[in-house]
Amino acid sequence: MGEKGLLTIETFMIAIKAFAAAKERKKAVGTFELMKKYKFKVGADTINYFLDTLGRAKLGKEAQTLFEKLKGRFTHNLQTYTVLLNGWCRVENLMEEGRVWNEMIQKGFKPDIVAHNIMLEGLLRCKKRSDAIKLFKVMKDKGPSADASSYTILIQDLRKQTKMGEAVEYFNEMIESGCLPDAVVYTCLIMGFGNQKIMDMVFGLLKEMKEKSCPPDGHTYNALIKLMTNRRMPDDAVRIYKKMIESGIEPSIHTYNMIMKSYFQTRNYEMGHAVWDEMVQKGCYPNDNSCMVFIRAPISQGRLGAACKYLEEMIEKGMKAPQLDYNKFVADFSRAGKPDILKDLARKMKFAGKFEESNVFVRWADMMKIRVKRRDPIKASEQYT
């Protein structure tokens, strides 16, 4: 692309985002050096984007390293320090977060509400709740004034602690302070009360959302579906799913995975397969979790041949479950005493170029062969001749 003059700033942004997401640290940082090679001028906005991309991929250290290398070559601003702050917050490094905060102030930048909210969340992630409350009080007394995000951060932390009474107190304070609640904070409360099986509060909050013209978003619907599937009520989850569709909100892969898994758990395999078909029909590409949920259904029925067939199809389409899941998957075959299936699958995986997966199946098949020999030497001899 460089030789043909096709590179743009967007090209480099896509590249660094991909490298950061894959945790290819050297390549992510090296992308910036490539920009210089191709004579691209880089300003604060572009570098801030790079730093933010690294931070969001939990590469706070790499973002800080890149900043230190470049700090003398561009004019950094409040956003620069804010994205660095967020990067350290995501990896729960409170010491570095505090250092960046102090440097930001020393350089003459006044932290805004975004920076305060990041620090508030960082303190809570590191279990420094008393310090977080102190910071929140300072925000209310001296500014910047707490906004809806500030209250939501506190409410989410209280939900995780199952302190829903305190969460409601902050929610009421939020409304009294003039902050309009959004779908995010309502979803947080709905999840909290739903997990405690206080369903009248869940329905009350949904009614309140409707009255305040705050329609549920995708996260709200997924939270409700999760509540139903956790209680093994897949039919109710499907009703919520249909309302989600009627509202014009596209379900995510997570939506389908939850419903499909719930049907399989309740041994309604026909509906579980129907969910898979619906997912594919809607153009939602199955992920690794979908595949493992779908494959485990026939295994639980003792239909190992069908499970093997599904796995072959998924591998051929480029889907690959994590190594740990493959071991767990093969263990099910092993317990069923079907080493011949494992050997056959290993050959097919190797033929498809999936050498890592093939080796896993070979290893388990060999272990099964040894176990069968120990239990019944004559039968084993007949099986493997």
The pLDDT tens digits along the chain (385 residues) read: 988 989 998 898 888 888 877 778 788 778 888 888 888 877 888 889 889 988 988 889 888 988 888 888 788 999 999 999 999 999 999 999 999 999 999 999 999 999 999 999 999 999 999 999 999 999 999 999 999 999 999 999 999 999 999 999 999 999 999 999 999 999 999 999 999 999 999 999 999 999 999 999 999 999 999 999 999 999 999 999 999 999 999 999 999 999 999 999 898 988 998 999 999 899 888 887 887 788 777 777 767 667 777 777 776 666 655 444 556 666 666 665 556 667 777 777 777 677 777 787 787 777 766 665 555 554 444 444 4
**pLDDT number for residue 37:** 86
DSSP assignments along 120-180, one per residue: HHHHHHTT-HHHHHHHHHHHHHHSSPP-HHHHHHHHHHHHHTT-HHHHHHHHHHHHHTTPP
- Estimate to the nearest angstrom the gap between the alpha carbon of 344 and the chain centroid: 35
**pLDDT number for residue 376:** 53
**CA distances (Å), 332 to each of 168, 290, 350, 361, in order?**
46, 18, 21, 12
Q: Which two tokens stand for residue 152?
A: 């939501």
What is the rounded CA–CA span in Å between residue 283 and residue 267?
26
**pLDDT number for residue 29:** 76
CB under 8 Å to 85, separation ≥6 — which residues? 97, 100, 101, 104, 115, 118, 119, 122
Respond yes or no on whether the N-terminal peptide bond of residue 234 is cis (omega within 30° of 0). no
